[in-house]
Structure formats: structure tokens, C-alpha cells
Structure 1
Amino acid sequence: MTDAAQMTNLPQINVAENPKSPNQILLLTLKVFEYLVLAGAVGAGIVTFILPEVQMAKIYLAVLASVSVFMFLANLSLSKTFNGASLRQKISRKAELYNALVGNSQLIENASINTARESALEYCQELVDDYKRTRTNCRNIYYISQLATVVLSGITPILVLVDKLEAGVTWLKWLPVICPAIAAIVASIVTSFPFQKNWLAANTTVELLEAEQEKFILGVSPLYSYYDTAEETELPLKAQKAIENFIVQVNNIHLNQLQAMNDKNAEAQKQESAAAASNQPS
């Protein structure tokens, strides 16, 4: 049989996702309804503010605000559920992709191999999602803290000038003291906790894990390719070995990241201890 004939006999799998699945249509419908309810609540609030004597506007405002909160929480819960189901479906298709490209019916119909590959991909995806959350949180905290420090430090001279011009306002006298204090606290927090380093380290780990995941899915690395053996009886064993290699590689990336973070924390503690010792009077 020629190579072209073998390629035509390869089993096909559907790797494309339906852009308009029923779950997505339901989420979109509920989201539109949530926006309409929120718009109605805003309109009722405006009417209540302009015409406080209209009692029905207050009732509509209370009802629409309650419904808006309920719809927001319901959409959030449904979105998490549907996204989790969609992610599991994607992982299941990815687990079957390599065996389908191989075109070996023994591996394609082997449920234990496909289940093991799916479990390995789920484990890697959980680590990727965890590091993505760490990356997002550290990045947001770093940017917000830097922006807050700059803004609070910059407006302090303006507040001092306003305090002198508006001597009759009592609470303005405290702002030139409070803003620099908050800026100093925020700057100390950013200095004490390495949010920027953790963000960059988590981003590097995410890229490494995703690259390793793609290698495993497509079998482009010698560690994960098992179709080049001459004996078909050895295919299941080599497939299991490829899964073990993938788990080992993922764990190595994860443990290296943890070790690097521990080393950075230990070094930071040593620097703080040395600085505290140098500041102590002799």
C-alpha cells in the first residue's frame, strides 16, 4: 500500500470546535438578559435620583438590582461549569490526536492508553492554569501598586497647595499626610514581596509547560513518539513509556520552578537579616 493510500485510510477526528454550541448560545442569551436587567436598574436609579417623589421607580430599582445580582452570580457559575466541560472535551480530543495521526487501530481502540494520555494532559493543564492565575495576580498587583505609588506621591504637593488655599476645610489637612504614608506602605509591600519576579517566573513556567504539552500531543519529541517501532505488540508499552516521560518532564519543570522560588525567598531573607543586623547599634 502506498503512502498516499495509507494517509487516506487514517481515521479522522473532529478537532474543530463548534463556534456556536448550545452552551455558548445559552450563555450569550443569559448575558444579554443580564445586561438588559442592569440597564433597567440604571434607568430606574436615574429616575429615582431626578424624581425622588416617584415611589414606583424605587420599587423597580430594588427589584431590578436584585435580579441583576442574581443573574450575575448565575452566569458566573454557569460559565465556570460550561468552560470546565469544554476544557475536558478539548483535552479528550487532544489525547486522541496523536493516535489518530499514527493510524494504528490497536492504539486508537485502546481505551486505557487514551485515558492515561487524557489524565496526563489534565494534570499538565491544571499546573498551567495555576501558574496563569499566579502570573495574572502578581502582574496586576505589581502594576496597581506601582501606579498607586506614583499617583499618591505626585498628588501630595497639589494637596498641600489646596490645603493652603482652602483653609476652612478640615479634612484636607490630613490628606498631605495620609497619601505619602499610603504610598510608602505600598512601596514597602512591593519591595518586600517579589511580585514582578514571581510574575516573570510564572510566565516562563507557563511557556515551558505549554511547549512540553504540545510536544506530547503531537509526538514530535523522541521521548513521546512510539509509532516508529516495527513490532505492534510493543506499541502499548512504548505508549505507556511516553506518558511516563511526559509526567517526569512536567514534574521537573514544576519542581525547578518551586526550587527557584525557594532559593529567591531564602536569598531575600538573608538580605533582610543582614540589613537588620547592620542597622542595629553596636
Structure 2
Amino acid sequence: MLFTLKAFEYLLLAAIICSGIILFLLPDNKQAVIAGAVSLTISIFLLLINRQAFEESKNAANQFSIAQKAELYTSLLSNNKSLEKNTFTPARAKALQYCQDMIDDYKKTRNLSRNLYYFLQIATVILSGVTPILVLVDKLEAGQAWLKWLPVICPAIASIVASIVTSFPFQKNALSANTAIELLEAEQEKFILGVTPSYRCYDVSSETEQQQKASQAIEQFIVQVNNIHLQQLQPTEEKQSEKTESAVSAASNESKPEQSQQS
């Protein structure tokens, strides 16, 4: 289903591009303009609907995958019928969904920060490399007045883009988000398969102890996921605390000379 919707999306994008080309190349032909405009409108409308259907299908597939992961743990138990009757499988599914939502958020942050960093870096390199060529073109006296401004505009834009790259830590945010994704995915797999002592309860013979261990495993998993998330927030909090401490120390140092003068 997802593959079919994605293929249909590519066809709609191709139709939109073709309609745009027709409108650009045949502006005098009224029939071609009307046909291109109608085709463009219908294609955009179907593309938006297809995007919504794709997102809903993707969410349904994720829900089904998480349900399978939650039920996988009970298959490792020697007496899995007892745990199937209680609420541990829905609770495990909820915990896995919580972790998966956090992974998806970090993936969005990673992709956005990485794409912005690469785009700004490439733009800086291109603008810096084109500047000497524009200086030579200006000396050729091509007769175009706007060419004289390009050797000034391009370095200015390049410096602005470079300042944005250095001011906002896009690369650091992408690396931090990628680290969080790897840690969360590793912790999720440990929880699904029960490969660590804190998540393992199928080696306990008593049914009561199995239920207690399963409940403790869910609690421990939520705590570990929150700890991984808080570890990514600690650098920002530490920087803010350092700035506050430096401001307080600077204010105290300024007040000391005034007190000595009054004495």
C-alpha cells in the first residue's frame, strides 16, 4: 500500500512538472494553457490527498509493527497464556509507541539540521568561488549594469550565510539527534527482546514473579528513555547555567571596588 501511494505521488509530481512546462512554453495557445492549468490544479489536489493517505497508511503500519513487537516478548515466555490475558501487552505497546514517537521527533530534527547545514555550507562555497569569476566578468565591460553589483552582493551573501552557520549549531544538533536516535533504538531492541537482566522475565518460573518482572521492565524502559532524552538536553542547560554564573560573578566583581571606595 505504501509503495503504491509513493509511486502514485511520483506520477503526480511528474504531471505537475509537465503542466508547468506546457504553461511556460505555450503561453499563447489558449487550449494548451487551459489544459495545463486544469491538469496542474487536479494534480496538486490529488497530490495533497495522496500525501494524507500516505501518512495515515504509514501510521497504521507503525501501529501494527509496534503491536507485533509488543506481542513478541510474550512468545518467549514458557507460560505465555497468562500474560496474554492481562494488560502487559497493551502497556508494552504504549511504552514502545512513546519511544517510537521520540525517535521520530529526533529524526525530524536530525534531517532538518543536517539539510540546513549542508545547504548553507554548499551555498557559502559556491558564492565564495563565484566571486573571482564575477570580478573578471565585470572587467570585460559586458554592458550590463547589474553585473557590476554581483561582485559586491555575492561576498556579502556568503559572509551572511557563513555567520548563520557559525551562529546556529546545525551540525551539532544533527549529531546530537543522531546519537539520541541510536541510543533509543538500541534501548528499544533490548526491551523488545528482553536481552538485559532488567528487561528479562521469561527465565522466572513463578507466574507472579513474571508479572512483577514484566511490570518493572516497563517502568525501567520508560525511565531509560527519559534519561536518554534528558542527556541530550543537559548541554543546553549547562551552557545557560554557566552564562548565569558568569553574569553573577561579573556583577559581584563590579560591586567589590565600589564597596572598597566607600570604606
TM-score range, shorter chain: 0.7 to 0.9
Distance 1:147 1:269 in 2: 36
**TM-score w.r.t. length of structure 2:** 0.85
DSSP 3-state at the match of 2:195: coil
Decide whether aligned partners of structure 1 residues 270 and 144 sit closer, same or farther in structure 2, where only a CA change above 3 A counts: farther
Contact 2:6 2:54 in 1 (8 A): no
Establish whether residue 210 from structure 1 lines up as the match of residue 188 from structure 2: no
Uncovered stretches (5+) of structure 2, i.e. residues with no partner: 247-263
Work out the CA distance in 2 between the residues paired with 1:205 and 1:269. 27
* 1:94 alignment partner, one of 55, 69, 93: 69
| Deviates further, 228-237 or 156-165 | 228-237
For 1:224, what is the secondary structure of its paired residue?
Answer: coil
What letter matches 1:38 in structure 2?
Answer: I
Q: Distance in 2 between matches of 1:253 and 1:263?
A: 16
Q: 1:61 to 1:248 in 2, by over 3 A?
A: same
Equivalent residue in structure 2 for 1:174, among 142, 145, 149 = 149
Residue in structure 2 matched with residue 66 of structure 1 by the alignment:
41
Aligned partner of 1:161 in structure 2 is 136
* RMSD (CA atoms): 2.3
In structure 1, the residue corresponding to 2:213 is in which secondary structure? Answer: helix
Q: Deviations over 1:48-92 (max 9, x none)?
A: 15xx2x321111011001111112211111111111111111111
The alpha-carbon distance between structure 1 residues 189 and 25, as it changes in their structure 2 partners (threshold 3 A), is: closer
Partner SS, residue 229 of structure 1: coil
Q: Which consecutive residues of structure 1, in runs of 5 or more, have no partner in the other structure?
A: 1-22, 272-282
Q: Please, which of 34, 38, 41 is the counterpart of residue 19 of structure 2? A: 41
Q: Secondary structure at the match of 2:51?
A: helix
Question: Deviations 1:29-53 (Å, cap 9, x if unpaired)?
Answer: 743652564365256436615xx2x
Aligned pair count reads: 245
2:117 is equivalent to residue 145 of structure 1 = no
- Flag the structure with higher helix content: 2
1:261 to partner: Cα distance: 3.3
What secondary structure is seen at the aligned counterpart in 1 of 2:201?
Answer: coil
Shift of 1:166: 3.0
Q: TM-score, normalised by structure 1?
A: 0.80
Work out whether residues 45 and 61 of structure 1, in 8 Å CA contact, stay in contact via their aligned partners in 2. Answer: yes
The answer to whether 1:107 aligns with 2:83 is yes
